[in-house]
Structure 1
Amino acid sequence: MKLKNKFLSLAGIFIIFFAPVGYAEISNNIISFSTEVEKEVQYDLLEATLFIQSEDKELKSATKQVNSKINAALDIIRNVKSVEIKENSRTTHVRYNSKNKQDGWIAYGKLVLESQDDEQLAKVLTQLDGILAIDSLRPSVSSSALLNIEDTMIKDVLKQFQHKANLIRSSLNAKNYKIQELSITTPVNQNKYAPRMFQASNTKSYDSSVDIDLGESKTLLKANARARIEIIFE
Structure 2
Amino acid sequence: MRTALTTKTIMATGSALLLTAMMSHAHAEPTGYDQISFQTEVKEEIANDEVRASLYKKAQATDIKTLATTLNTSINRALAIAKRYPTVTVSTGQQSTYPRYDKNDKIIGWTGQANIDLKSTDFTATSQLIADLQETLVMNNLNFGVSEIKKDALEQKLMTDASRAFQQQAKNLTRAWDAQSYRVVTVNLNTGNNNFPRPMYNSMRAADAESSIPSQNFESGNSTISVTANGTIELNK
- Same fold by TM-score greater than 0.5: yes
Q: Tell me the distance in 2 between the aligned counterparts of 1:124 and 1:130.
A: 10
Q: Tell me the distance in 2 between the aligned counterparts of 1:78 and 1:120.
A: 11
Render the CA deviation track for 1:10-42: whole Å, top value 9, x for unaligned.
xxxx31011354427xx7311111111110000
Q: Give structure 2 stretches of 5+ with no counterpart.
A: 12-31
Q: CA deviation at 1:96?
A: 3.4
Instruction: Report the TM-score, using the length of structure 1 for normalisation.
Output: 0.82
Render the CA deviation track for 1:22-77: whole Å, top value 9, x for unaligned.
427xx731111111111000000111111111122211111211111100000010
- Which position in structure 2 is the counterpart of 1:5? none
- Which position in structure 2 is the counterpart of 1:218? 222
- Which position in structure 2 is the counterpart of 1:148? 153
Change in 2 beyond 3 A, CA 1:194/1:180: farther
Render the CA deviation track for 1:81-107: whole Å, top value 9, x for unaligned.
111114433222233345554332221
- Which position in structure 2 is the counterpart of 1:158? 163
Checking the alignment, whether the CA contact within 8 Å between 2:44 and 2:225 is kept in structure 1 is: yes
Greater Cα offset, 91-100 or 45-54: 91-100
| Secondary structure in 1 matching 2:195 | coil
Instruction: Report the TM-score, using the length of structure 2 for normalisation.
Output: 0.81
Change in 2 beyond 3 A, CA 1:92/1:213: same
- Which position in structure 1 is the counterpart of 2:10? 23
Checking the alignment, whether the CA contact within 8 Å between 1:32 and 1:229 is kept in structure 2 is: yes
Checking the alignment, whether the CA contact within 8 Å between 1:94 and 1:106 is kept in structure 2 is: yes
Segments ≥4 residues shifted beyond 3 Å: 86-89, 96-102, 205-213
Change in 2 beyond 3 A, CA 1:173/1:122: same
Q: Give structure 1 stretches of 5+ with no counterpart.
A: 1-13
Q: Tell me the distance in 1 between the aligned counterparts of 2:66 and 2:89.
A: 29
Letter in 2 for 1:204: R
- Which position in structure 2 is the counterpart of 1:115? 120
| Secondary structure in 1 matching 2:175 | helix
Letter in 1 for 2:172: L
The percentage of counterpart residues that share the same residue type is: 21
1:124 matched to 2:129? The reply is: yes
Render the CA deviation track for 1:155-197: whole Å, top value 9, x for unaligned.
111111111111111100111111111111114xx6x535210
Q: Tell me the distance in 1 between the aligned counterparts of 2:48 and 2:67.
A: 38
Q: Tell me the distance in 1 between the aligned counterparts of 2:151 and 2:82.
A: 26
Q: Tell me the distance in 2 between the aligned counterparts of 1:194 and 1:76.
A: 26
1:228 matched to 2:232? The reply is: yes
Checking the alignment, whether the CA contact within 8 Å between 1:54 and 1:63 is kept in structure 2 is: no
Change in 2 beyond 3 A, CA 1:163/1:32: same
Structure with larger Rg:
2
Greater Cα offset, 38-47 or 91-100: 91-100
| Secondary structure in 1 matching 2:85 | coil
Checking the alignment, whether the CA contact within 8 Å between 1:135 and 1:203 is kept in structure 2 is: no
Checking the alignment, whether the CA contact within 8 Å between 1:48 and 1:136 is kept in structure 2 is: yes
- 172, 195, 198: which one aligns with 2:197: 195
Render the CA deviation track for 1:100-131: whole Å, top value 9, x for unaligned.
54332221111110111111111111221321
Change in 2 beyond 3 A, CA 1:152/1:97: farther
